[in-house]
DNA sequence: CATACCAGTTACCAGTAGGATACCACCCGC
DNA sequence: GCGGGTGGTATCCTACTGGTAACTGGTATG
């Protein structure tokens, strides 16, 4: 499996590895953001609207992801200047994690609710609060 | 992929599914506990010592996992009574998530630190506090 | 009887994650 | 100048996460 990994006292190795991963992608949003960015690059506000996260929090999350080399931030020389966030090659290594969570979330939702999410519906934004 | 899944407006579907998953396994410990329990059943204190989590928090996490049908709690009729926690068949469906995080954690640690974790060392418990 | 282990529970408390809201600077079209 | 788009920051605040410590109640061991 991992050539450098030693005798593998399974439990210790496993739980520490999972713990290490969680330290990087902890919190309510990091994996969600990553999941979205792994599909295609997004701009800031676009991302904010897409997943429904306030700019303050999004900004913080993106900075942390950038520090961990999981996303890149590129300023595009357009008028209105736009900023594009994209998943890095390194974050591709998280793809299996995200994919697994995606699959599980889909089937779990059906297990609980008994029907798939109404994804294709016009999906009125949570309501733009009158 | 999922027969019931419709036209798949990829982004929405993905981020919601990941979000759903995170609602179940959020927090610092749930996935760690699950990772360990997926290897074999554990008793309460055993688990507590293994991953270094206080009884209060462990108790709460286990209850939540139980509510989500991800672990079972069985009281064993031994003297000192022991309680065994085990992963349910349903939690097996999370195995790919845990496995992916395990793998990522292992390689990530090497990427950052440059060497694998010293797993096999005697691994003095965080120090049993005198 | 004292001590120790089991599986928790309760009380207390600090740090923070994350939400709401407002605001800034920049550029465009009108 | 005004309104609307961009990408954020600043401020404030609350609820929750999670840690420590102490305590219960049962059984076993010295």
Residues A10-113, CATH architecture: Orthogonal Bundle (1.10)
Q: Report CA(B70)–C1'(C5) in Å, whole number.
A: 28
Domain ranges, ordered by start, for chain A: 10-113
Q: Which of the following CATH numbers is that of domain B29-113: 1.25.40.340, 3.40.720.10, 1.10.10.10, 3.40.50.2300?
A: 1.10.10.10
The CA distance from B1 to the nearest CA of chain A, in Å, is 9
Answer whether any strand D atom is within 7 A of the Cβ of B53. Answer: yes
Who has greater pLDDT, B128 or A23?
A23
Q: Which residue is nearest to nucleotide C11 (CA to C1')?
A: B56
Residue with tokens 């981020």: B15
Strands (E), B22-130: 42-43, 71-76, 82-87
**Helix/strand/coil for B76:** strand
Whether the CB of A109 is below 8 Å from some CB of chain B: the reply is: yes
Judged by average pLDDT, the poorest of A9-13, A15-19, A81-85, B8-12 is B8-12
Burial (CB < 10 A; 0-12, 13-18, 19+), residue B107, is middle
Q: Report CA(B98)–C1'(D11) in Å, whole number.
A: 39
Would you state the pLDDT for residue A79?
A: 81
């Amino acid at each position: 499996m991992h050539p450098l990994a030693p005798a593998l006292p399974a439990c210790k190795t496993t739980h520490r590895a999972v713990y290490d991963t969680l330290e990087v992608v902890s919190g309510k949003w990091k994996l969600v953001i990553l999941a979205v960015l792994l599909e295609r690059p997004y701009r800031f506000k676009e991302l904010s609207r897409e997943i429904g996260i306030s700019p303050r929090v999004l900004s913080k999350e993106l900075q942390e992801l950038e520090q961990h080399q999981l996303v890149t931030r590129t300023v595009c020389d357009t008028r209105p200047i736009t900023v594009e966030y994209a998943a890095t090659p390194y974050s591709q290594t998280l793809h299996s994690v995200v994919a697994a969570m995606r699959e599980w979330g889909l089937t779990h939702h059906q297990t609980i609710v008994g029907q798939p999410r109404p994804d294709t519906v016009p999906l009125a934004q949570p309501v733009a609060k009158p």
